[in-house]
Amino acid sequence: MIIVRLGSRGKENYMLFNSYIFIFVFLPLTLIGYYFLNHFKKYKAANLFMIAMSLWFYGYFNKSYLLIICGSIAINFLIVKSMQNIKQKPKYQKILLGGGILANIVIIFYFKYYDFYINNINIIFKSSFELKNIILPLGISFFTFQQISYLIDSYREETKEYTLDEYALFVTFFPQLIAGPIVLHSEVIPQFKKKENRIFIAQNFSKGMYIFALGLFKKVLIADTFGKAVSYGFGTIATLSSMEAILVSLSYTFQLYFDFSGYCDMAIGIGHMFNIDLPQNFNSPYKADSITVFWERWHMSLTRFLRTYIYIPLGGNRKGKVRTYINIMIVYLVSGIWHGANWTFILWGTFHGILNCLNRLCQKSWERLGDITRWAVTFMTVNVLWILFRADNISSALIFIKRMFCLSDFSIRQELYNCFQLRELEVIGENVPGLNYIVSVIKGFDLWMFILGAFFIVLNFRNSKEIIFKPTAARSLIAAIFIFWSIISFAGVSTFLYFDF
């Protein structure tokens, strides 16, 4: 059975962190306006200004998105207020909670899974129901999960009497709005309420600019370069050699890493510019020595949400081994479904669930393996499963994996080498003594430099949350070079991979 992806977006004109309008217009205007209003102690006006700018950011491509997010905010806020007004009637509170969660799930289902569901119905029953070809609204899974967590926390009486503008700011704050992290109210709203966070702090701004520069460089110069090889490879699966399939699979593994890591860095960096410390969402996941540890490091806010609001309420590990494994499988099945309307995502989540169960079941035997062996097996497993994550359908994924492991052809075509050629690197290679000779001798030097360099970075560099920042001339120069190099390398707006989720 071949089931293709539904509801994805093309290369639209979004206002992204890696776009001219964001860097030269939106971000400066937002910083100036926000701190100007706070300087005169117009705190509510500053909140409303930030909400308005965040909505401009969100609705820049498609104004109809604004109706969805504003409607979602209004409905969830009303439900929370209603629950707070009937504290003495827990039965009705539970009904409101269930209705609120169901309403959020229905919204996600309609926009994200309706066509997928209808397409499968047509295949199974040979019917001809019409697909709506719904364009998936940006970040709907992120801000919907965020509001579900708020509903549940409110039912548990873990939230405070927040005003509508505080709640709307919590949902819409633009650095985390469309690709995470999935923040909790307790992490963001109290920071906005602190008056000391309302003044411009040069140290925080410098740190934010530095982290933003690192993230921008990761996205534009590293992830997007790997992305060229990925587009080429997954567009020519039927003709790939074994070596090309291996290189393309590694390219996607690194593209996804630097793309998501870059976004997380930029989000954290922008947060620091506004004196807001966003939670960590990415913690060097390719250093993991088991699938379990990988998920503790990859998309940490999603893992936290699934653990807190699904795994623990289902009973966690408190109801025996069999129930524990069932709960784990449910969580990873939800994770797969959350990532997209395709059987590839469902199968990807299922495999990760099975591997987590096996890791728990065979933990002692696993720990007896050497550190390098555990890491290598984990990395290769993650790498192969990413193929399923990226492929348009299961059939394509199986063909790709078969070409990887048949080991029948180790040739590399020039088209794949060309994907890694950057003009800036060519200029450096031509003018650095000795380097031009190495480049001429080693065929595909740029490709091998990117692959080996990526391995070195993901295994040795600190993530942004581990950086102990002190403003120095060297760091200022690095930030300036990274931002300048990234800006001159913009070749159109390249969307972040997690925007499709």
Kindly write down the DSSP assignment for every residue of 150-206, as one continuous string: HHHHHHTT-S----HHHHHHHHH-GGGTTT-----HHHHHHHHH-GGGGS--HHHHH
User: Domain span at residue 87?
Assistant: 20-200
Q: Please check whether residues 421 and 462 belong to one and the same domain.
A: yes
Give the confidence band of 468 by pLDDT, cuts at 50, 70, 90.
Answer: confident
The pLDDT assigned to 453 comes to: 94
From CA 281, how far away is CA 302, in angstroms rounded?
Answer: 8
The residues that bridge with 298 in the sheet, in sequence order, are 282
Q: Please check whether residues 165 and 35 belong to one and the same domain.
A: yes
Query: Is the per-residue pLDDT at 12 higher than 70?
Result: no
Q: Please check whether residues 149 and 270 belong to one and the same domain.
A: no
Lowest mean pLDDT among 88-97, 124-133, 205-214, 370-379: 124-133
Domain stop point among 200, 228, 245? 200
**Is position 362 within any domain?**
no
352 is catalytic: no
Q: Please report the sign of the dihedral spanned by the C-alpha atoms of residue 297, residue 303, residue 305, residue 307.
A: negative
**How many domains does the chain contain in total?**
2
Q: Please report the sign of the dihedral spanned by the C-alpha atoms of residue 234, residue 240, residue 244, residue 250.
A: positive
Instruction: For residues 70-75, give the mean pLDDT.
Output: 95
Proportion of the chain above pLDDT 70, given as a percent: 92
Of 185, 272, 299, 339, catalytic:
339
Domain stop point among 157, 184, 200? 200
**Is position 307 within any domain?**
no
Query: Is the per-residue pLDDT at 500 higher than 70?
Result: no
Give the confidence band of 219 by pLDDT, cuts at 50, 70, 90.
Answer: very high
Proportion of the chain above pLDDT 90, given as a percent: 67
Give the confidence band of 163 by pLDDT, cuts at 50, 70, 90.
Answer: very high
Q: Please check whether residues 38 and 146 belong to one and the same domain.
A: yes
433: left (phi over 0), alpha (psi -120 to 50) or beta: beta
**Is position 427 within any domain?**
yes
**Is position 213 within any domain?**
yes
CA distances from 251 to 245, 362, 449, 482 (A): 10, 31, 12, 22
pLDDT in tens, 394-447: 999 999 999 999 888 889 999 999 999 877 766 666 666 766 767 777 788 889
Q: Please check whether residues 256 and 182 belong to one and the same domain.
A: no
Q: Please tell me whether residue 275 adopts helix, strand or coil conformation.
A: coil
The pLDDT assigned to 250 comes to: 97
Instruction: For residues 372-391, give the mean pLDDT.
Output: 96
Give the confidence band of 56 by pLDDT, cuts at 50, 70, 90.
Answer: very high
The pLDDT assigned to 10 comes to: 44
Q: Please check whether residues 196 and 274 belong to one and the same domain.
A: no
Q: Please check whether residues 227 and 248 belong to one and the same domain.
A: yes
Q: Please check whether residues 187 and 217 belong to one and the same domain.
A: no
Give the confidence band of 471 by pLDDT, cuts at 50, 70, 90.
Answer: confident
Q: Please check whether residues 187 and 88 belong to one and the same domain.
A: yes
pLDDT in tens, 76-100: 999 999 998 888 888 899 999 999 9
Peptide bond into 181 cis (omega under 30): yes
The pLDDT assigned to 459 comes to: 93
pLDDT in tens, 452-462: 999 999 999 88
Q: Please report the sign of the dihedral spanned by the C-alpha atoms of residue 434, residue 437, residue 441, residue 446.
A: positive
Instruction: For residues 258-278, give the mean pLDDT.
Output: 95
Q: How far out from the chain centre does Cα 272 lie?
A: 19
Give the confidence band of 11 by pLDDT, cuts at 50, 70, 90.
Answer: very low
pTM of the model: 0.91
